[in-house]
Chain A
């Protein structure tokens, strides 16, 4: 499986570390989150069949987190994008 790292190009998946569901959102104010909401965020994960957005860390490459769109059924990777805001003079 090759992952198109937006910083490094196509690299074998063995260079990456899986980082979980990219659609998950940390509650904006956890103190206000109900127990169920927090439980959901902390522990409960869907196991979707088909296209999935997920984080991967390019551990043996640029050491950055990227967001990958992967089909969990076929392992086909539709694309990947950088994480983090891009403003100012950041590289």
Chain B
């Protein structure tokens, strides 16, 4: 049952005691614990894993790790589904489900492949050239084209997984757990520095896991195991595996995504992935190198694979990635791969080397293994339908052009090596500028800008010995730079490797094989985006010069792999087409993330209600018990209204509002911002932040105040009470409360540090409630002690303290609704107790709680402004509050009031509006027009149904509004399709004389 036809019986770093069952494209397969999806599919002989982006050509596994351009799969189901997952980095587990992308109806037979027949119509930039013209038509083409040229699908359900973020600090961060990284961690760790070693793989070892190299003492992996044991014993060292450093940010901060439970079910409370914000004093980048591709005819057929990848499948996973292989290289490293493949049971028939004179030591090893060496030659094209069947080989001339009639060698595996690109991504993200080194024909890290250094293959070191020595030196230097005394690290010195003479001969920098004639075939530079050498040449012919522009026009190096295997090949071709050299072309910018990161991981816990947690007032539970319909108001949950059985929301709001106007009601106002100001200069401070006068305010009196921004626009309003000679209690609007607190502290500590006062934000400390209505005094008098609430003792805008049920309360005779009303503040913990006392005492007066809709109705009727009017564009004068401005003295915003724009008589001013028919509701947000000019004159800011007038009313801002009372306009809402004739009038609909307030 568990047959894996391409798996060897022995060898590899897999656990044959633990079989794993998984599903790919609806079929069940077996693999072993330790496999990736790619290795398990290859073991099962699955060669076609996806279809290409543009031409829908069949594609197979090409790489071994993060560089993979082809084997992208849709992983998982439902809300857990993740597109564009690299099969080369997915560890398989029981129950894994994955699917090919970008194919229909199936990966082996894909109708979209017909686009290949029309590929002449799909050159570089074809979107811009063909389909976007005429612009109107693009709307029709866009959908089908985007569906054809696609990657994976987004999950269509919310992600049920947990993600978390963690901050950590260390002295030395080592990125990459290959030989150089391990040596760096050993050297830095010995010094006592806090070291964090981060590797993207499931286990340490890096390329050693794939190459199976030897040291003088034995297998290099034994050394890795010993080093890991030693590192784990160090208390100052942390190892993160399955953790990819995706971003190098300012201030030496690394962004790391750790795949905690992608390879197994998460333990209870464990996240799927964890993002680390690692703050490192020094960073060692031992990120290794990526092998490059070579462009030749049909080089995208399944079975064409990087030499290092084929070697890795053979050594690490005991998988034969093919039966018969041909190697094609421009450098030394494919020789070791050929020998390892041969050893693992793949029949390696030939090694084609672009170099005319390959190193003799390597040539003799091939000869000993019975592999034919074909020097000075190139693979001109691969042949086969859906997979490689053979490769055509030709000798090449000095310029790399094939000569003569090619010879065909049958094979089902074609391993290519175009040399290596150091992974300079993080160095470049840290603003380092990579420098081209012609010796290895690759970009090396340049001068570091941040506190980082590269080591090993990441800076072009080729041999294992050189990588270990380089890593140890970098680790020691980093620890020293972080201020630590160096100590010897014996394991580093023991890692001796005898020089075998390889890696000395330079590569031949050719990455493109173009025959003089013959059948036209596509030569792919970028496999993921289906970019051919012709596309690049076309872009250059059309005038694109900058590598960044060519990238965007051709899509070279875009997508999920960001050109890890293709960029140098592409840049070399741009350079050739421009007639310059690659150093002058440069690289495109390296930006985070190094590999795609799930948005869920970046969001972490800050999703849903954790993004903006709800705030609840002290009386929240009481509201729920009373049947309140709770409304989200900014972060707060507030009662919208208290529904009685059979009532609609409108009916409840009307009942509550009428109840206040005719009797008594109780509303929760705990959400108002509350600040206490103490100090001899507190009154001077108020003079400077409010537009009105404060010195004259007597103790035990409240005053309404308006604050401006420095540009003269109203910032906030509220009441402030003089509780003691040098002690004030300020309330702010609910919405602006945090901003007012922040702004006032700025004024105090930055603008006027010489003023002697303190400001304390006590919003959370006090529960607030307003008892309002003609009967409110009678109710209050029944429960309050030690306070005379008669109008003589506690007049309008008066203040006093008393007790209710033995609890101290602050009582302010303030009214937002326009009726006789008292704001009562109690320590938050006693809020519900006080509220219940008031409800009990009010029972015989028919007291009812009211919500913010009724509160809004009452204040609109009274003409008090709130958020709808205070929209960040109005001045005090616009609101009819200009007379509050004190005649002299500076305050925030005063200087700006003389700006002509703020004095324009045509400014929008606050007005009240009624429907002409006294019946039709005014549409919220409607524009005010006069039916003659084509400009609108103002807009509706608040609407309500007036319980006193018993008709719909509205507040609005209207150009020159105060001089237009009596005019007939239209409130028009094209959105709602409604146009209502309205009459302009005063914004105060009830009690303009304020009799109710002073009752």
Interface residues of A (CB under 8 A from B): 1-2, 12, 17, 19, 22, 26-27, 29-31, 33, 38, 42, 55, 57, 59, 63-65, 74-77, 83-85, 88, 90
Contacts and interface: CB of A to CB of B under 8 A. Distances in A.
B754 A31 contact: no
A55 to B, nearest CB: 6
Given A2-B251, A42-B710, A75-B251, A63 B761 contact: yes
A90 B681 CA distance: 14
A55 B745 CA distance: 12
Given A29-B890, A74-B449, A76-B251, A65 B749 contact: yes
B711 A42 contact: yes
Contact of A64 (B749, B756, B890): B749
A43 to B, nearest CB: 8
B167 A12 contact: yes
B447 to A, nearest CB: 14
B750 A55 contact: yes
Given A38-B896, A74-B250, A74-B449, A12 B277 contact: yes
Contacts of B746: 19, 55, 57, 65
Interface in B936-964: none
B153 interface: no
A63 B277 CA distance: 23
Nearest to B249: A1
Contacts of B894: 30-31
A76 B279 CA distance: 13
B741 interface: yes
A74 B761 CA distance: 36
Contacts of B724: none
Contacts of B750: 22, 55, 65, 83-84
Contacts of B742: 17, 57, 59, 63
Given A42-B711, A63-B745, 7 more contacts: A1-B253, A30-B895, A57-B745, A57-B746, A77-B251, A83-B753, A84-B749
B741 A63 contact: yes
Interface string B760-775: 0100000000000000
Given A31-B890, A42-B711, A90 B758 contact: yes
A74 B267 CA distance: 41
Considering the complex of A and B, which 4 residue pairs feature the smallest CB-CB distances, nearest first?
A84-B749, A75-B250, A30-B895, A85-B753
B748 A84 contact: yes
B17 interface: no
15 contacts: A2-B251, A2-B279, A19-B746, A26-B751, A30-B890, A31-B890, A31-B895, A38-B896, A59-B742, A63-B745, A75-B251, A83-B750, A84-B750, A85-B753, A88-B756
Contacts of B251: 1-2, 75-77
A83 B758 contact: no
A27 to B, nearest CB: 8
Contacts of B450: 74
Nearest to B251: A1
A86 to B, nearest CB: 9
Nearest to B738: A59
A74 B746 CA distance: 27
Contacts, number: 61
Contacts of B711: 42
Contact of A65 (B253, B745, B756, B890): B745
A38 B753 contact: no
Contacts of A64: 745, 749
Nearest to A13: B251
Interface string B52-69: 000000000000000000
A33 B741 contact: no
A26 B689 CA distance: 14
A30 B896 CA distance: 9
Contacts of B751: 26
- Highest count of chain B CB atoms <10 Å: which of A29, A42, A55: A42
A2 B253 CA distance: 9
Contacts of A33: 895
Contacts of A90: 758
B519 to A, nearest CB: 55
Contacts of A57: 742, 745-746
A33 B741 CA distance: 28
Nearest to B709: A42
A12 B450 CA distance: 18
Nearest to A14: B277
A50 B92 CA distance: 50
A80 B292 CA distance: 47
A17 to B, nearest CB: 7
A1 B255 CA distance: 12
A12 B249 CA distance: 13
B604 to A, nearest CB: 11
A35 B711 CA distance: 12
A49 to B, nearest CB: 14
Contacts of A22: 750
A38 B749 contact: no
Nearest to A87: B756
Contacts of A27: 895
Contact of A83 (B250, B277, B279, B749): B749
A80 B753 CA distance: 17
Nearest to B431: A74
A33 B449 CA distance: 44
A45 B297 CA distance: 58
A84 B753 contact: yes
A30 B279 CA distance: 44
Contacts of B167: 12
Interface string B873-900: 0000000000000000010001110000
Interface in B427-463: 449-450
Nearest to B761: A63
B250 A1 contact: yes
Contacts of A12: 167, 277
Contacts of B250: 1, 74-75
A21 B669 CA distance: 37
Interface string B186-209: 000000000000000000000000
A35 to B, nearest CB: 8
Contacts of A19: 746
A14 B710 CA distance: 27
- Highest count of chain A CB atoms <10 Å: which of B167, B450, B750, B896: B750
A12 B279 CA distance: 10
Interface string B255-284: 000000000000000000000010100000
Contacts of B758: 90
Contacts of B710: 42
B19 to A, nearest CB: 45
Interface in B207-227: none
B168 to A, nearest CB: 11
B606 to A, nearest CB: 10
A26 B251 CA distance: 32
A38 B753 CA distance: 21
A17 B745 CA distance: 13
Contacts of A31: 890, 894-895
Contacts of B253: 1-2
A74 B432 CA distance: 12
Contacts of A38: 895-896
A55 B710 CA distance: 17
Nearest to A82: B749
Contacts of A76: 251
Contacts of B741: 63
Contacts of B756: 88
A64 to B, nearest CB: 7
Nearest to B741: A63
- Highest count of chain A CB atoms <10 Å: which of B251, B710, B711, B742: B251
A12 B751 CA distance: 26
A90 B678 CA distance: 12
Interface in B809-862: none
Nearest to B755: A85
A17 B743 CA distance: 12
B754 A85 contact: yes
